[in-house]
Structure 1
């Protein structure tokens, strides 16, 4: 019997069936081309940012160091789910083993959590740059920047372990249909044949409420920073406003969908898949565009880099 026709699994089967975004083959081909373009654009945009920051001496500052690390996280985050989704769009059998599902959830929350904590570090960087301009480079030295990045990765790791450790112990012996294109906790928990109220409460508290609290704190912090820029900053005001506006946009694109998905009971909503596409594929693609389009210094450095690549003999 084909997996697509099974309604139940046993502990020996060890597979989930991913229903994906569509059951229509023509639609799946269109989505494959569309999301392949999105994925390649994500890689291209973020690799350009990383390469530009590494090769441009003027960009060897805390702000761009953190931005390059965010680009690395965007590439990694998109790669956790997109390759598997692209593969499934071309195949009728869309299955994933339970260990593979748990691994995908682990890395999804690991990298996603690291991204959230890195955005906190970037907000802290802007706060110091505006409120402590004379001491900024002393405080945000290379050692501090490295600690912030390592701290973001470690925080994401702890967050993921706390989340997945609650799910990995659940028994799965009932329905095996995951109504999504990747494994995530809200859908997987509902497939357990055990009472999951405590797990759902833990995930909502750990992901939903914590994410919402951080989002609100960041928005208030950026509001204070923007007011400070508007009232007190005279030199470089436009650059400071553009940088902060870009970070606010990225923060909203990152946190908004997370709040929608995790800060509520595990119930199915019509917009769930669209929101999942937004924060797993679209946001990692948009982040480099947002930072590049609103940052004249970055645009100038990218133009010089492209010039050196396309015309190697030109100085």
Structure 2
């Protein structure tokens, strides 16, 4: 337990802990009287001489000076447990809905946002106390403590008395789940370099979604098409309708995939294939011995067939 006589020394201590560990401590909980500048000791307040601690609060040893509790405060590592998961998820969903177009997208799956929270248990507990040095006792005996406590309450009932504000602070517990000190500095420098290379990368190095899902884009197109149909139903201007008709026709052609089939081929190649096939089949069907001229014609025809045709079905013509 460390004790400070003013808030300046307390803040300096916390800042030193943060610089040493390269972390930040944020407020987890604070008593409503902790920041009350108008707080005054009352006779009804309980007088303490020592405090064994409990619930994470610092223990206060016996010094012979009586004190009263003014308030409590607990600081935790900024990489501790995420206490706002539901709020962050709700905010992310609302933001996504605003970016999209109304409710015609159907059910959406929202990704959980990147977070620095790793559940680090490091914490600093602070007890703000009012001490009364003029009522100090020399020994830690019950009789002496009761006598001094009675004198303190009696004095509070009569006139204001002199009291001091002190802060009892626990030493920060160990960090866990993330780097601290020099390792944290190196990790931070590495993340900054990555961020300069890719500005869209988040602090936790989670890459953003580069492209929307195809389903989202299709739903968006459907929604826009519905809006266009609604506008068309109330449009009376003929010129506008003609222009829109042309644009929609062009768009429809762009969306229609080109039909390609291996069975299709240019007409001039198809005609050549038919002629060549007829020559060959006629030579085979006549049954007469092949002459030199017929052989030359057949060879020439086959060479033409191989040079001018593409893979596909073969069409033959037989003469009866």
Q: Same fold (TM over 0.5)?
A: no
Q: Please report the TM-score for the alignment, with normalisation by the length of structure 2.
A: 0.23
Relative contact order (alpha carbons < 8 A, sep ≥ 6): 1 or 2 greater? Answer: 1
Q: Please report the TM-score for the alignment, with normalisation by the length of structure 1.
A: 0.23
